[in-house]
Structure 1
Amino acid sequence: MKNELASVWFFNQGWQPHPFQEACWQAIAKGQSGILNAPTGYGKTFAIWFGLIQQYYTAAYQEKLAKQRKKGLHALWITPLRALSKEIHRVTEGVSNDLELDYHIELRTGDTSTANRQKQRKNPPQALITTPESVHLLLATKEGQAYFKQLEFIVVDEWHELLGSKRGVLIELALSRLKAINPELKIWGISATIGNLAAAKTILLGIHNDGVLIKADIHKKIDIKTVLPDTLEKFPWAGHLGIRLLDKVVDIINQYQTTLIFTNTRSQAEIWYQQLISQYPEFAGLLAIHHGSLSDEVRLWVEEALHEARLKAVVCTSSLDLGVDFRPVDCVIQIGSPKGVARFLQRAGRSGHRPNETSVIYYVPTNSLEIIEGDSLKYAVKEGIVEQRIPYIRSFDVLVQYLMTLAVGDGFEPNQIFQEVLTTHCFESMSRAEFDDCMALLLHGGSSLQAYDDFHRLELIDGLYKVTSRKLAMRHRLSIGAIVSDLMMRVKFLSGKYLGSIEESFISKLNVGDVFWFSGRQLELLQVLGNDAIVRPSQKKKGVVPSWMGGRFAISPDLGIAIRHSFKSIQQTRSTSPEIRFLQPLFQEQARISGLPKEDELLVEYIETKYGHHLFIYPFDGKLIHEGMAQVIAYRLGEIKPASFSIASNEYGIELLSDTAYVLDEKLLKTLFSPKNLHQDINSGINVQEMARRRFRDIAGIAGLVFQGFPGKQMKSKHLQANAGLFFSVFSEYEPNNLLLREAYDEVFDFQLEEGRLIKAFERIANHKIIFRQLDRLTPFSFPIFSESFRERYSNEDWQSRLEKLKLQLLDG
């Protein structure tokens, strides 16, 4: 079955379509739904797009159009990022222009003006490119459901990115309604490689949809190069190495036309940009910074400058991870551990973004031990190890918001919506009683809040539940979405020029006159006006770098497997990687002082210093798992002999420091790591209630229990926390089975403590041989973890020189 439009367009470009593109066109022509998996830069967009427009121009569909009184929406293309929406719009509009088609494509995102939105409602284009939140906003308008009556296709781009978040739940719920409005709807997902691709297909299409999975038989070539320092630090600490490799990074930048420098956090991006521009002033005008907290104006300028090859390098975060096609980029640099294999592959794919080109990525470790991850990443890529995305289930806060969305729009009949929602993966296990509890929360606030009129939100009108209060409807539309973070404050110059946003918790720690780095500039805080931080440029040499709450994430279980495999190579003397060879002196020193664990061994060191008794454990499971593990071990030790512990951890190990001495041996250590009674000990050893209370703030915001404020007049973070905390206390005392309260605890166990991973780690260690060493000095493995806790003890100026002195003593020993 030939796609004529694609044939003409590809011929004019001088291109040959890939087999996976032709497979997609054929599947779409047969009326099938499906999911497409193909590498970045091979034309995934064209694989779906030409299928849609070919179907639009078939005689059968044109005949169907002629019978319709009013022109309606034909295709809805949903993307996770506004930048990606703009890119898809540019590419698809280019096809319509090249082929002189009367197929119109428009954008609808947070940037779309009210006038344009109204125009799109009255006179829909053939295709609308939008975000999950905008789809729900359309459902929250009068006759919003009729708007989708003629819809033929929904495409969800970068589905893997949405799947492991509550935004994925928004997609599932929207699809359940749109499929009911139009049972003939075709759904397509576009996804990068993930470990659970088949499950991703089922979740998107629904359990009763036997759509196709089209996987491109293309293996993108990736050249991974680890940037090694000139000398090896045998006693490293976190972050000490990164900036020391600045000159080597600049040498790499100068070798290529355009380079993306990926950092894991916005703070790190600001630091690297500042260091590059201050030490290499010749980069002025050729170097830019891009992250999610900068203004749209700044980000758009950077994206356009990249398109036009006007920039030599951009320091960025995951804000440039996805789909945006920057053809001139021919090199990527990853600063520090990428924390996950899929993230590393996604970033590598930004370079060589064309068929048959090699993606070049340089890995820059930020401490000596991190060098081993260069070897681990190469192993993971070679073996095809990629993370799964774990979908959210039973997210009742999102369901409450969705029911409110339907009520603000055309209203809904609960029995019908209950049946639709049961078809989603997120709510397939929901009982009718639980659905009725969600309804009760909207009708009268549930059993705890009935006395308050504010929670009587729905009214029954002609068999449909609706919201009649204009104030409630407006508040709800402003609150639609499932992205939550600390309250953001706008950063502005005195002139009113907007630079971006910073979390309130950071600004609240500054005094007027303090200097901080943001948007690649040194800024002095002049005053705080409402939700605005007013600043001016500063020439002062010292300034603090903002930290964002989103910056904390752990290595994935799959990268953990690859790292433990790399440690297997330590024991070998031949055919090892450059990373392992370079690290040999550090490993030899570790073996001399203590020991080297094999893949099926756990190394435990017990060291006494003037600071106390240090218990070091090396599970190599990532910082977040280590934090939970450390608290369980501390609780179990405390049951043997009461003691207070300070805890430190990094990606590779744990330190428990106490003034109390313990008599330890392999047998006792085995009991400390027993998986027996683990859930109970997690509850006893960790303040789960306080974690759930903090988690509940986000849940309360999504469910509409607390209103975050109007644009420009947002409620202060501490007030939001206090309001949400009040509901948490009321539910805990009077309604312990409240769905939202239970959800807060479930999310703490599933996503913060990652109880499933924690249990697996304990079960794995239970089968390991324990190598126990009692020592009188720190080792190369323990020193980086010790330095984490050491940093907390001293002022910022003091700790580095003290640590350097301590390191010299160890080297002399």
Structure 2
Amino acid sequence: MAEARAAAVVAWLAERGWTPFPFQRETWALMRARRAGLLHATTGTGKTLAAALGAWLAYGDDGARRPLIRPADAGHLPPEGEGVASPAGVAPLPQGEGGGQRPPGEGSAAQTNIVATASHALALLWITPMRALAADTERALREAFAGVAARDPSGAPAWTVGARTGDTSAAERARQARSPPSALVTTPESLALMLSRPDARETFAGLRCVVVDEWHELIGNKRGVLTQLGLARLRGLRPGLPTWGLSATLGNLGEALRALLGPQAAGQGALVEARIDKPLIVDTLLPRAPGRFPWAGHLGAAMAAAVVAEIEAARTTLVFTNVRSQAELWYQSLLKLRPDWAGAIALHHGSLARETRDWVEQGLKAGTLKAVVCTSSLDLGVDFLPVERVLQVGSPKGVARLLQRAGRSGHAPGRVSRVTIVPSHALELIEAAAVRAAIRDGRIESRKSPDAPLDVLAQHCVTVALGGGFVPEDLLVEVRTTAAYAALSDEAWRWCLDFVSKGGPTLKAYPGFRRVVPGADGVWRVVDRDIAHRHRLNIGAIVSDAAVVVQYGPAPRGAKLGSVEEGFVARMRAGQRFWFGGRILEFVRLEAGTAFVKAAKGGGTTPAWAGGRMPLSTTLADAMVEAFARAAKGDYDSPELAAARPMLEVQAKWSALPTPSTLLAETLTSREGWRLFVYPFAGRDIHLGLASLVAWRAARAEPGTFSLSVNDYGFEILSGSSRDWAALLPDCLAPAPDLAALTAEVVESLNAGELARRRFRDIAHIAGLVVAGYPGQRKSAKTMQASSGLFYDVFRKYDPDNGLLRQAEREALDDELDVKRLMTTLDAMAARRLDLRPLERATPLAFPLMVERFREQLSNETLTARIERMLGDLNAAADA
């Protein structure tokens, strides 16, 4: 029968014109052998079919007509499917459920083993990071399972498929509870919600396999940690449960496998790497006149006409930008040049209303849209076959991100994927050359799991307490099977238990913080209905700035267009206009979390969203310095370097070009003061820490006032008083003796306390200390910050060892300031020869840093005049 089912799979693929790849056959064999593992393959080569059809081949009989096992039936599960022997060293899925803590009363002598014979059992759980991807995956799985079942000689009915996300209606959730689908597509947050239900054990009693899609998108953040804990809970309910991860762009596959399966099981997991030479074209749309003195965004408008020509030549194009405000601006620019494209091009980003995004996605699938200007909201594996081209406006800032976006075109085996970089300033020509070289050499960024965040752990404890309860000793063993908490200390665990049961030493007098109550039987549960309701409404690890709904006219008739951040609207006055969703709107009033607007004409501002600047990745930064080094030798070996040659020659003539063995620094004295420029190429975030540290060290020798400016390539320090930077620099750039010493300096040089306070707001939200409110009654960002700030101050004064307080300080240093990478950067800088060049005028590398500082001091009109005057002087000097 196994061979006949495999033949049915091959036959169904053949009817579609496909032949199974070797990596798909390997995955199927491993899944039929009850193995777990990670599948890494290029986007659009068939990872979904490899995992879905492998699950059907291994467990198809289980998921189609298998009784739903009540918790009372633990220890009486039917035999395993096809009876495939487990490979040596891998435990087979046990015949009995075992594991986990059974709530009292379930399975007692007073109960009988009732089997719901008319019901299906959930056999396959498919976890995906995005709702839109969940809906697309649901359609793909339903088609695949129906196709192979129709050719299955056993006559077993097709697996049913459902989705459980934040978009799933209450009626659909109720239907799933009565009759679970064979395969369920969900998100990390919805999985946590299901685990918080009293019937969690029953829901997953028949689960046979878990697939985590787009694992590279989850592994490096707290949503990934939430997923790790959810997987550990499922394995606690179903010991030996096989888990598979799917990934397309990862540089550290071993660590990714460890995070997926846990440290103990990772050695037994399989790593499948697809060896497919999928055609990929990465090129650059070269500007006619890139200029010799760049600044951020100066090529944007000049490239619009060329972008229109590229869109014209393709059937359907995705135009990616890095931020939502940039997407809004580019959409306006394209329509201004081609007003006849109204209705044929669209805008897509995460702040638009779901109905708008759904309409755009359906238009892409149907091929009715000529182009869509989008952000990372369309990064992941949604299948848009009509898309022929991808344009990336500005630098992708990372190799993996560009590869991910490239895969949105030609999203099928054998089809060509093509991505074209559209530089927004001349230095991005160097980035384009660097990213193409990195792709050619196979260099992709690594991602690592966060280390033991206590806010996520506290939330998970309450979730498990809701889902039937837990015995602390058993749950600790389970939690430590994850990569994130493998080294969790006994002290941290005790603190977490104390926090969820009492609120810690400072909050123990308040009943509202006694969320989990230890029972006389040793099982810890949530017994308060209000606490349970509040927890379920605020479950998850996604925390963003408070947003207000943008709506035409009064409710309920007014159309909701999407949302903008509260801080943007709070500064607006009635009558002011702004661009949103590709249209010009006039602000009327702000009321109860809704910004009421009406249609307007003319111009307006564009909303700015937090988190708008992506830092340059270390992998791409290193490749960029290597490109500079090739140019320094006169080797302009790519179209991008050839186009940037006038700029590079001026930089080399007036100063020098960076190389891997040298650290370029420049000094310039002007009427504004004494300037220092340093170019570590470590990314904006690290440069902010470096600039602050260097200025603080310089002030120890002689106090003074400094102005700082940073970008992805370097930093500028401007002193109003005389500074001999050549004499100061060796000490100012010296590496720290150890991490503790550097941390102390960073805390002194920056307002690390304020960074920790801001970080604490998100941590307090995830941990359940403060809540965002209820649907229709969401709290404002100001209220959330005030509430969390109060807790922060109380803990600082009365409970300085509070776990969440320590976590906020650690995240401020590790994530926002990244002190470990800062130390590595200082060490790397010390290992290179310092190449200090005194300047007579600003170089092409220094000029954008000066403009960056001017942006914060001048209005747009004044800034434009200042830039034009400086450019005139610099170009005249370069021509001399």
TM-score range, shorter chain: over 0.9
What is the CA distance between 1:62 and its match in structure 2?
A: 6.7
What does 1:337-348 correspond to in 2, within 5 Å? 337-348=395-406
Further displaced range: 228-237 or 162-171: 228-237
- Asked whether 1:326 is paired with 2:384, we answer yes
- SS of the aligned residue for 1:632 comes to helix
Report if aligned partners of 1:5, 1:54 keep a CA contact under 8 Å in 2.
Answer: no
Report if aligned partners of 1:152, 1:184 keep a CA contact under 8 Å in 2.
Answer: no
- Asked whether 1:93 is paired with 2:152, we answer no
Aligned partner (choices 676, 684, 688) of residue 748 of structure 2? 684
What does 1:497-536 correspond to in 2, within 5 Å? 497-536=559-598
Aligned partner (choices 663, 677, 681) of residue 620 of structure 1? 681
What does 1:197-596 correspond to in 2, within 5 Å? 197-209=253-265, 210-461=268-519, 462-494=521-553, 495-539=557-601, 541-574=602-635, 576-596=637-657
- Correspondence for 2:98: none
- Correspondence for 1:172: 228
Report if aligned partners of 1:749, 1:755 keep a CA contact under 8 Å in 2.
Answer: yes
- Correspondence for 2:711: 650
Report if aligned partners of 1:646, 1:657 keep a CA contact under 8 Å in 2.
Answer: yes
Report if aligned partners of 1:56, 1:62 keep a CA contact under 8 Å in 2.
Answer: no
What does 1:75-94 correspond to in 2, within 5 Å? 75-94=124-143
Aligned partner (choices 788, 801, 813) of residue 724 of structure 1? 788
What is the CA distance between 1:669 and its match in structure 2?
A: 1.7
TM-score (norm 1): 0.97
- SS of the aligned residue for 1:812 comes to helix
What is the CA distance between 1:60 and its match in structure 2?
A: 12
What is the CA distance between 1:69 and its match in structure 2?
A: 4.1
- Correspondence for 2:812: 748
- Correspondence for 2:840: 776
Report if aligned partners of 2:34, 2:58 keep a CA contact under 8 Å in 1.
Answer: no
Report if aligned partners of 1:624, 1:753 keep a CA contact under 8 Å in 2.
Answer: yes
Equivalenced residues, count: 811
Counterpart amino acid of residue 695 in structure 1: R
In 1: Cα distance, 2:857 partner to 2:490 partner? 54
- SS of the aligned residue for 1:570 comes to helix
- SS of the aligned residue for 2:632 comes to coil
In 2: Cα distance, 1:537 partner to 1:545 partner? 15
Counterpart amino acid of residue 776 in structure 2: G
In 2: Cα distance, 1:59 partner to 1:478 partner? 33
C-alpha deviations, 1:712-748, integer Å up to 9, x for none? 2111111111111111111111111111111111111
- SS of the aligned residue for 1:793 comes to coil
Report if aligned partners of 2:38, 2:247 keep a CA contact under 8 Å in 1.
Answer: yes
Counterpart amino acid of residue 126 in structure 2: W
C-alpha deviations, 1:25-63, integer Å up to 9, x for none? 111111111111111111111101111112233599978
- Asked whether 1:597 is paired with 2:646, we answer no
In 1: Cα distance, 2:394 partner to 2:437 partner? 17
| Structure-2 change in CA distance of 1:576 and 1:531 (3 Å) | same
| Structure-2 change in CA distance of 1:14 and 1:367 (3 Å) | closer
- SS of the aligned residue for 2:200 comes to coil
What is the CA distance between 1:357 and its match in structure 2?
A: 2.5
In 2: Cα distance, 1:168 partner to 1:20 partner? 25
- Correspondence for 2:164: 108
In 2: Cα distance, 1:92 partner to 1:582 partner? 47
C-alpha deviations, 1:384-414, integer Å up to 9, x for none? 1100012111110001011111222322211
Counterpart amino acid of residue 114 in structure 1: A
- SS of the aligned residue for 1:8 comes to helix
| Structure-2 change in CA distance of 1:90 and 1:647 (3 Å) | same
What is the CA distance between 1:455 and its match in structure 2?
A: 1.1
What is the CA distance between 1:64 and its match in structure 2?
A: 8.3
Aligned partner (choices 153, 158, 161) of residue 209 of structure 2? 153
| Structure-2 change in CA distance of 1:563 and 1:56 (3 Å) | same
- Asked whether 1:53 is paired with 2:111, we answer no
- Asked whether 1:669 is paired with 2:729, we answer yes
- SS of the aligned residue for 1:387 comes to coil
Counterpart amino acid of residue 689 in structure 1: G
Report if aligned partners of 1:5, 1:50 keep a CA contact under 8 Å in 2.
Answer: no
What is the CA distance between 1:553 and its match in structure 2?
A: 2.1
Counterpart amino acid of residue 395 in structure 1: P
Q: Percent identity?
A: 42
What is the CA distance between 1:130 and its match in structure 2?
A: 0.5
Counterpart amino acid of residue 190 in structure 1: L
Report if aligned partners of 1:553, 1:624 keep a CA contact under 8 Å in 2.
Answer: no
| Structure-2 change in CA distance of 1:412 and 1:809 (3 Å) | same
CA-based RMSD of the aligned residues comes to 1.6
In 1: Cα distance, 2:134 partner to 2:542 partner? 18
Report if aligned partners of 1:348, 1:360 keep a CA contact under 8 Å in 2.
Answer: yes
What is the CA distance between 1:122 and its match in structure 2?
A: 2.1
Counterpart amino acid of residue 532 in structure 1: T
Report if aligned partners of 1:37, 1:215 keep a CA contact under 8 Å in 2.
Answer: yes
- Correspondence for 2:84: none
C-alpha deviations, 1:216-274, integer Å up to 9, x for none? 01133321221121113112211111221001111111111110000000010000001
Further displaced range: 454-463 or 530-539: 454-463
- SS of the aligned residue for 1:353 comes to coil
What is the CA distance between 1:679 and its match in structure 2?
A: 2.5
Q: Which runs of 5+ in 2 are unaligned?
A: 69-76, 79-114, 151-156
What is the CA distance between 1:283 and its match in structure 2?
A: 1.1
What is the CA distance between 1:594 and its match in structure 2?
A: 2.2
What is the CA distance between 1:198 and its match in structure 2?
A: 1.1
In 2: Cα distance, 1:331 partner to 1:632 partner? 44
Aligned partner (choices 854, 861, 865) of residue 790 of structure 1? 854
- Correspondence for 2:34: 31
Q: Which runs of 5+ in 1 are unaligned?
A: none
TM-score (norm 2): 0.90
What is the CA distance between 1:574 and its match in structure 2?
A: 4.1
| Structure-2 change in CA distance of 1:504 and 1:664 (3 Å) | same
In 2: Cα distance, 1:60 partner to 1:437 partner? 41
In 2: Cα distance, 1:212 partner to 1:457 partner? 40
- Correspondence for 1:44: 47
- SS of the aligned residue for 2:126 comes to strand
- Correspondence for 2:799: 735
Report if aligned partners of 2:63, 2:122 keep a CA contact under 8 Å in 1.
Answer: no
In 1: Cα distance, 2:749 partner to 2:732 partner? 13
In 2: Cα distance, 1:59 partner to 1:501 partner? 44
- Correspondence for 1:799: 863
Report if aligned partners of 2:64, 2:160 keep a CA contact under 8 Å in 1.
Answer: no
In 1: Cα distance, 2:433 partner to 2:859 partner? 36
C-alpha deviations, 1:600-659, integer Å up to 9, x for none? 111211112222221111111111111111000111111111111111111111111121
